[in-house]
Amino acid sequence: MYSLGGIRSLPANWRSTTASMTTTESVRKVPQVLTVAGSDSGAGAGIQADLKVCAARGVYCASVITAVTAQNTRGVQSVHLLPPEFVSEQLKSVLSDFEFDVVKTGMLPSTEIVEVLLQNLSEFPVRALVVDPVMVSTSGHVLAGSSVLSIFRERLLPIADIITPNVKEASALLGGVKIETVEEMRSAAKLLHEMGPRFVLVKDFKTFVECGTLLLGKEFHELRSPRIATRNTHGTGCTLASCIAAELAKGSSMLSAVKVAKRFVDNALDYSKDIVIGTGKQGPFDHFFSLKKDPQSSRCSIFNPDDLFLYAVTDSRMNKKWNRSIVDAVKAAIEGGATIIQLREKEAETREFLEEAKSCVGICRSHGVCLLINDRIDIALACDADGVHVGQSDMPVDLVRSLLGPDKIIGVSCKTPEQAHQAWKDGADYIGSGGVFPTNTKANNRTIGLDGLKTVCEASQLPVVAIGGIGISNAVSVMQINTPNLKGVAVVSALFDQECVLTQTKKLHKTLEESKKEV
């Protein structure tokens, strides 16, 4: 259960200033988060959880350790505070070197450690501060004494962009007020907001009805999802806060960051509900959504940009022309060397398309090839495809992400550097750039040529696949652009408007391999 309140909004230029984090030395600055928190020897919460979350969300994370704990799935056995002077040395070391977009705090166990944090933040300001006021673990162990409450209220909360207390911590910060209902969570969020933070997220993982309330301006936004029955809840608070920090570092608005973080925690809890780690009553959960999977499994669960090498896009009209099914076409393309498949079926009926998509998913999974659906989010969800590809006039990427969850692949078509940059900000995984050459598969499709493709590739912070009129005769000229982000070519007619898909795929694959050697 969450209640998120915040009457003031972030600065109007938040997205632009955060997302356009480039320097003259590098146009591909990696989003960076610093976590200042305690170490969890069981690796379910604290620093360890923060590092795993940021890695899973594609953000670099450095750490400053405030305390070392002896803990496992049974609870916290001991806490050892690091000297404030050493915490300060850690802070100075990383803050003077890295360009952090967001600082996220967790366990700050003493007033002296809070003081050194405040001092260093005054010397090395960052774009955003996420404060998770860790005082009580989910298992009930006290991790910070009442002595820190005063400095939290008076000095730390006023400079925070968002604070994320659980109901016990919110109650402590408010002097022991009772917080048991959603309405009381809303009231608590408003009272905490009056202490200075821009936004307040009050959460209740004990009941875990998953009711959230976001206050933007004077308006509340409810965030709801069913309760997930699982023992693996250790680290939920740390995970939520660090995921918010990661999304802010990537340029998301606060509302978007909170929504993504909530989905991320929900998905991790649901995925991990039958995993057993440790012997205690409260186990950790899987941030990477991979522990249940067979290490030998060929499912393409993590997107590899090299998959874009030979990107095959189906077309129902061509399949009908050559009297073959989508399934047969996909199987032949994969056997010929296609490394990623996109189903683009504009004329197929939904029921028929879904059944064919399910069959294609099975074929792709058995060969370790990713399968994406063009435009049709409903089909992608129903057949459990690896992701979707959308165009500029289709559903916005951030909305697609909200529907698919954090672990699916999203590609977006881009013709300009501006569109490529927006795709990165919105959370796409790759872009398809073109049409490079004229093509018959799309009417009135404006071509950008090789020069336009090169411009997009050089501006993009995402891997790029070239598309539009590409075949054996001109694929080499495309790959000779030789920019680091250009990972491959996407083709339609060159494969599927041919009598033998298998033969043509093998020929094109060989051509691309030879072009790589030449470059």
Residue ranges per structural domain of the chain: 2-21+28-272, 305-518
d(CA 156, CA 145): 16
Stretch 44-64: mean pLDDT = 96
pLDDT for the residue numbered 102: 98
> Is 236 annotated as catalytic?
yes
DSSP characters for 213-282? EEEETTEEEEEE------S--BTHHHHHHHHHHHHHHTT--HHHHHHHHHHHHHHHHHHHTT---SSSSS
% the chain with pLDDT above 70:
85
Catalytic residue among 73, 138, 230, 233: 233
d(CA 103, CA 268): 23
Which two tokens mark 197? 């933070």
Which residue bears the tokens 């501060």? 129
Any idea which of 14-28, 60-74, 117-131, 285-299 has the lowest mean pLDDT? 14-28
Q: Which amino acid is at 309?
A: F
The angle subtended at Cα 504 by Cα 353 and Cα 516, nearest 5°, is: 110
pLDDT for the residue numbered 211: 46
CA-nearest of 91, 69, 87 to 78 is 69
Q: How far is CA 63 from CA 30, 95, 250, 360, 417, in A?
A: 16, 10, 18, 43, 34
Catalytic residue among 238, 300, 370, 457: 238
Instruction: Give this prediction's pTM.
Output: 0.60
> Is 203 annotated as catalytic?
yes
Catalytic residue among 73, 236, 314, 339: 236
Average pLDDT of the residues of the chain: 86
The model's pLDDT over 77-87, given as tens digits with 9 standing for 90+, comes to: 999 999 999 99
> Is 235 annotated as catalytic?
yes
Catalytic residue among 6, 46, 237, 452: 237
Rank 181-185, 192-196, 222-226 by mean pLDDT and report only the highest: 192-196
> Is 300 annotated as catalytic?
no
Are residues 29 and 21 in contact, defined by beta-carbon separation less than 8 angstroms? yes
Catalytic residue among 5, 46, 212, 235: 235
pLDDT for the residue numbered 4: 65
Are residues 361 and 331 in contact, defined by beta-carbon separation less than 8 angstroms? no
Task: From the options 1.10.8.590, 3.20.20.70, 3.30.365.10, 3.40.50.10330, give the CATH code of 305-518.
Answer: 3.20.20.70
d(CA 252, CA 118): 25
Rank 104-113, 255-264, 420-429 by mean pLDDT and report only the highest: 104-113
DSSP characters for 296-345? T-----S--GGGGGEEEE--HHHHHHTT--HHHHHHHHHHHT-SEEEE--
Are residues 198 and 5 in contact, defined by beta-carbon separation less than 8 angstroms? no
Predicted confidence band of residue 381 (pLDDT cuts 50, 70, 90):
very high
Catalytic residue among 203, 408, 415, 454: 203
Q: Is the pLDDT of residue 482 over 80?
A: yes
Within 13 Å of residue 373, how many CA atoms lie on the same side as its CB?
Answer: 26
227 or 35, which is more confident: 35
> Is 362 annotated as catalytic?
no
Topology at the third CATH level for domain 2-21+28-272:
UDP-N-acetylmuramoyl-L-alanine:D-glutamate ligase (3.40.1190)
> Is 212 annotated as catalytic?
no
